[in-house]
């Protein structure tokens, strides 16, 4: 099942995407957001409700939002593909390297991502995102996948000069430089998340193409690691890192420019698509 957040006729909602149509679950449940619905209901409950309800409107009649608009933040894993470490001449890490992205730095599919006025070094990173569905602390690796509600696509847009010369937090949190979507595909439809194919295209040119079996730290390891220091809650999002092909590792570097179109596609999930625009001049 695909679960999406959207706006329709000026009203924010969420629901199931089925055969090009939307079953509006927000009209049928007391929970005001998809994150709260994941906390209050099992996926089986949501699937059953979506299956027996009629479609409310066509997918083309809504504007998709990020899957979880009220997400508290994004846990992001860096340096997690062997190929990416090789292209960047980095050493194999001993444990997952984590940073946090603010929700205000992330937009939905179809919305513009912004190259800031302060830098032209705007890089792309296509990633698989994990959506947590069940609360857990000190989760064992063998139990980790039972805590996953589903998966989405994440684009960890990075301002490289700020990342490398100032701080990782600054380089990863410029406003509207990342994206997430187009929806959540539930874990039962994905199957083995280590066998997905991730492709990133810049203006139609493929710049990343790697399977998720190139992970250094697999999804159970990541979930166990994060849950060791903080409780994981329904609706928490963990981005799992990017494969080789990023712009800064090329000669010359390949930066995103205003007018470019970036697409990240992951098998079984769909396509996350954004156009790059220049940050408007200050008023």
Quick one: CA torsion of 240, 4, 274, 113, rounded to 10 degrees?
-80
Q: What is the pLDDT of residues 11-66, one digit of tens each?
A: 999 999 999 999 999 999 999 999 999 999 999 999 999 999 999 999 999 999 99
Half-sphere exposure of 177 (CA within 13 A, CB side): 29
- Identify the burial level of 107 via C-beta atoms within 10 angstroms of its C-beta, where 0-12 means exposed, 13-18 middle and 19 or more buried: buried
Does the pLDDT of residue 282 top 90, yes or no? no
Residue 89: the pLDDT is 81
Secondary structure of 229-245 in the HEC alphabet?
A: HCCECCCCEEECCCCCC
Q: Please, what is the average pLDDT of the chain?
A: 96
Residue 184: the pLDDT is 98
Query: Rounded distance, CA 172 to CA 250, Å?
Result: 20
8 A C-beta contact, residue 212 and residue 196: yes
Nearest to 195 by CA among 144, 113, 270, 128: 128
Residue 120: the pLDDT is 97
What stretches of the chain adopt beta strand conformation (E)?
Answer: 2-8, 11-18, 21-24, 57-58, 63-64, 74-78, 97-101, 106-107, 113-115, 122-123, 126-132, 148-155, 158-159, 178-186, 197-202, 205-211, 237-239, 261-266, 270-278
- Mean pLDDT confidence for 151-157: 98
Query: Rounded distance, CA 89 to CA 93, Å?
Result: 12
User: ∠ CA(147), CA(150), CA(151), 5° rounding?
Assistant: 125
Q: How far is CA 96 from the centre of its chain?
A: 18
Q: How far is CA 131 from the centre of its chain?
A: 9
Does the pLDDT of residue 283 top 80, yes or no? no
Residue 278: the pLDDT is 98
Query: Rounded distance, CA 16 to CA 7, Å?
Result: 13
Given CA atoms 127, 133, 138, 142 in this order, what sign does their dihedral have?
negative
Query: Rounded distance, CA 16 to CA 133, Å?
Result: 16
Residue 188: the pLDDT is 96
Query: Rounded distance, CA 38 to CA 33, Å?
Result: 9
CATH superfamily of 74-278: Fumarylacetoacetase-like, C-terminal domain (3.90.850.10)
Q: What is the pLDDT of residues 224-255, one digit of tens each?
A: 999 999 999 999 999 999 999 999 999 999 99
8 A C-beta contact, residue 5 and residue 68: yes
Q: What is the pLDDT of residues 60-99, one digit of tens each?
A: 999 999 999 999 999 999 999 998 988 888 888 999 999 9
* Sequence spans of domains, the chain: 2-64, 74-278
- Mean pLDDT confidence for 257-264: 98
Neighbouring CB atoms inside 10 A of 30's CB total 9
Q: What is the pLDDT of residues 214-226, one digit of tens each?
A: 999 999 999 999 9
User: What contacts 80, CB < 8 A, 6 or more positions away?
Assistant: 96, 97, 215, 216, 217, 222, 240, 241, 242
Nearest to 101 by CA among 118, 125, 65: 125
Residue 85: the pLDDT is 84
* pLDDT confidence tier of residue 175, bands split at 50, 70 and 90: very high
């Amino acid at each position: 099942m695909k679960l999406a957040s959207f706006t329709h006729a000026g009203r924010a909602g969420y629901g199931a995407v089925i055969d090009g149509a939307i079953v509006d679950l927000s009209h049928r449940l007391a929970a005001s957001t998809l994150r709260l619905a994941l906390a209050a209901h099992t996926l089986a409950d949501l699937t059953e409700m979506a299956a027996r309800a009629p479609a409310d409107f066509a997918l083309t009649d809504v504007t998709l939002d990020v899957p979880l608009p009220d997400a508290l933040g994004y846990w992001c894993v860096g340096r997690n593909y062997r190929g990416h470490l090789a292209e960047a001449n980095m050493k194999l890490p001993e444990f997952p390297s984590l940073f946090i992205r603010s929700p205000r730095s992330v937009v939905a599919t179809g919305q513009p991502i912004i190259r800031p006025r302060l830098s032209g070094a705007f890089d792309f990173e296509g990633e698989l995102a994990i959506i947590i569905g069940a609360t857990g602390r000190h989760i064992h690796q063998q139990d980790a996948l039972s805590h996953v509600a589903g998966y989405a696509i994440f684009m960890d847009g990075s301002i490289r000069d700020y990342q490398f010369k100032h701080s990782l937090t600054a380089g990863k949190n410029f406003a509207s430089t990342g994206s997430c979507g187009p929806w959540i595909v539930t874990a039962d439809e994905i199957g083995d998340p280590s066998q997905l194919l991730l492709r990133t295209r810049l203006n139609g040119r493929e710049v990343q193409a790697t399977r998720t079996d190139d992970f250094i730290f697999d999804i159970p390891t990541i979930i166990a690691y994060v849950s060791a220091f903080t409780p994981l809650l329904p609706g928490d999002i963990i981005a799992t890192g990017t494969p080789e092909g990023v712009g800064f590792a090329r000669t010359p570097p390949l930066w995103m420019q205003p007018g470019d179109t970036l697409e990240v596609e992951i098998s079984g999930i769909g396509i996350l698509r954004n156009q790059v625009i220049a940050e408007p001049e200050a008023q």
